[in-house]
Amino acid sequence: MSKNVLVVGGAGYIGSHTTLALKEAGFNAVVYDNFSSGHRDVCFGDALVEGDLSDTAKLTQVLQDHDIDSVIHFAALIEAGQSVLTPLPFFQNNVAGTLSLLEAMNAAGVKRLVFSSTAAVYGNSEDAALLSERLPRAPINPYGDSKAMVETVLESCVAAYGIEAIALRYFNACGADAQGRSGERHDPETHLIPLIIQAAQGKRAQINVYGTDYDTPDGTCIRDYIHVSDLALGHVAAVTHLQRTRTAGCTAINLGTGQGQSVRQVIDAVRRVSGVDFKVHEDLRRAGDPAVLVADAQRAKDVLGWQARHSDLETIIRDAWAYASKTQ
């Protein structure tokens, strides 16, 4: 069995960490990226091909030339707020681009796919204490819609093409490689932890807290924060599972911790780790922000034998702070 994995979007935040984890697990990783948001200095694969998702012919050639057995697909536009303002690029890249990839896989006879999905497919499922994969898909923005559409496409491709797929639904990816080889470098940055760190570094005047009157212990939103290195190991576990089971199907699996942290708790953790105080501005709620979003992580443990091991808040902040301090 080939140990060659194509990492589409492997120059990005989660893709670069997953490439490192694949190599450490004995896989050969081929990175495919158009560098619209990725970085060349974190391409850790055995080979690098610059190309776009829409180039079906090139993808087919890469799959054949490198004897690819499995594909991990990260290449997506991810900013939910921006997707509301400009939805067409999200559907063009995230949905049409994935169709191009699936066409290439079918032409090359590659059947195994690990798809980067999102907890955004659940929408505002506030009635559930933990978000389970058994809940219906009910996204509330075009970004979540685009990911849910791809999950539907994958389910449709199972019987027709024999696709074996796992859709990994991430919760709040954060942190950085413990050795400082990669970390968060989004432009613009919209994720909470790097924004707080920027405030602590003096790169921004303050950190804004949107809503302090939620029905939570301290009034701020609670989210499930998952260390990017744990996410990377989840992808390795998913590829390994697909290679071992050889069963056509599409399985949705949450990657989260099952524990939530509030915005205030994250702010306090950054203060502790950095030793720096900074201004916090309390603002009104943002539309569409649920009070609590926490994963039911049992299926990942049962199916993949995976669970988060590096995702305590102190470790996440320490690794993120070390990377941000190194690269500032």
Residues tagged active-site: 143
Place of tokens 């690794």: 319
Measured CA to CA in angstroms, residue 21 lies from 182, 185, 209, 232, 234 at distances of 12, 19, 34, 6, 10
Query: Would you put residue 26 in left (φ > 0), alpha (ψ -120 to 50) or beta?
Result: left
State the helix-helix crossing angle for 263-274 and 192-200, rounded to 10 degrees.
40
> Rounded distance, CA 233 to CA 237, Å?
6
Contacts of 213 (CB under 8 A, 6+ apart): 219, 285
Measured CA to CA in angstroms, residue 46 lies from 4, 22, 38, 118, 185 at distances of 10, 11, 17, 28, 23
